[in-house]
Amino acid sequence: MVLINATIASTGVIVSYIIYLLISRTYASIRNAATARKLHCEEPPFERNRWPLGIDSLLRTLAADRNHQFPTDLLKRFNDLGCHTYRYEVLGARHYRTADPRNIQHILTHKFADFDVGTTRLGSFYPLFGRGIFTTDGEEWKHSRALIRPQFTRDKLSDRNLEETHVQNMMTALSPLIGTNGWIDEIDLLPYFFNFTFDSATEFLFGESVNSQLGNLEGHSIGNSMSKLVTAFDTSQKAIATRRRFMDVYWLYDTREMREACKIVHEFADHFVRLALAKDLRKATVEKSGGNKDQYILLEALAADCKDPIRLRTELLHTLIAGRDTTASHLGWVFHSLARDPQRYQKLRGIILEDFGTYEDTHEISFAKLKDCAYLRYVNNEALRLHPVVPLNARLANKDTTLPFGGGKDGNSPIFIPKGSTCYYSVYVMHRRKDIWSPDADEFKPERWEGRKVGWEYLPFNGGPRICIGQQFALTEASYVIIRIMQRFGRIQSLDPDEVVRYKMGLSNSISQGVRVSMHSA
């Protein structure tokens, strides 16, 4: 009898909750429709679901991600609906997607105060990154940005000694692979790019590099603790990326492996934070690694303005993910594209040799000269257009608001965005719109940038108040690496038999199959 009563009570609770949801949604729909009429808004196209609660849409997204086709599936959704902004629902929640530069500009600038990055990003990122520049809103975000932004001034971009040190380590790692005929028969360049950016980023941030590039070389050792750090950083990132896929129920993914990996990363950062707050950081890093005593160390600069050890740690880790993964992913896409286009590789290499000299007799590679190298800039732009490192981003409406375009039959009417709705904007889809970029928008064609002036239709580094403050730093570092590799290697050939590009969607967008090539030493 007790069991029967408990079952009846449980069923009553469930039924009551379902009724509550139905009433709430009906009331919200009536209210939203009335508000939309007052604002002269019209509905955008709606992506219809075959299964209740949009389960089929969610499963389609997960399958596309599992098959490394998430960005291309997103593009197909837009094309199938024949529009640039649409509404969809998943698990009862209302969402919008847009690839309209006018709407994206509206979200990121004109109505910046109406949108937040939201609690879902903070919650999913929190175990590794905590509260920092990428996970907070309002005054807390402004404080983070004010703390970090001064560290990316032009004088910091002018010193290329840091990159050269780690380029030489990369070449040291590549040299044993060069055969007597001058060829590296087969190599995946992507891990080398990730190791390079990890090494340079940790030295820039902490004053000491993890030297991951040298770890597998005979006669070199990075030590057990550094080796554990490299593994832990990758493990924790993968876990955070998985939590992101769970959206509002990110908390369902919480493993012991993730927590242990995050702890190792935190302990590494905390060690240097303690040294910086005790004003012993420079002395300790110079004594341990024999580094330049006048070298710029970002943590030291931050510690002059901030004494909170947790805040210092979180901002450093936010900067580390931006400095490591995005640049490495971009380098992978550049060489993936050039390896499949040997004529353009030779064209760029000829310009580099003319402007910057040979590998052994290199002219000055300054920030000013990099900006003046137009074709190198076109190659970077084109790789970022086709393969932006953040192909999809999101903002949460913190109040009832609107988007200016996408509603009605012609798509020119405003759209009402109720409070709590998520607006996703896809730079990947926008960058491949044939009405903006011409019918060859899917092709790698750096020449399209000659004489071209762009606005919000090209957005590889976000825009508005939250525009990436490290974009020039990233482009300068990537350009430097491109120059040094192309000086060193005269020819490159793609060994990837798969014409289908596959995407690895972590915290940045990298190429899933790697950059498998053969290379000939110059």
The upper half-sphere exposure of residue 440, i.e. CA atoms within 13 Å in the direction of its Cβ, equals 7
Q: Is 423 annotated as a binding residue?
A: no
- Cα dihedral 50, 394, 126, 473, rounded to 10, equals 140
The helix (H) or strand (E) run that includes residue 471 is helix 471-488
Q: List Cβ neighbours of 337 (8 Å cut-off, separation of 6 or more).
A: 379, 382, 383, 386, 444
Q: What is the DSSP letter of 515?
A: -
Length of the chain (residues):
522
Handedness of CA 74, 132, 475, 330 (dihedral sign): negative
Residue 318 CA, chain-centre distance (Å), reads 11
385, 333 contact by CB (below 8 A): no
CA 490 → CA 182, 270, 483, distances in Å? 10, 43, 12
Return the number of other C-beta atoms located less than 10 Å from residue 475's C-beta: 23
**478/482 Cα distance (integer angstroms):** 6
Q: What is the DSSP letter of 46?
A: B
Tracing tokens 């910086």 back to the chain, one arrives at: 276
Return the number of other C-beta atoms located less than 10 Å from residue 177's C-beta: 12
| Binding-site residue ranges for heme | 468
| Binding-site residue ranges | 468
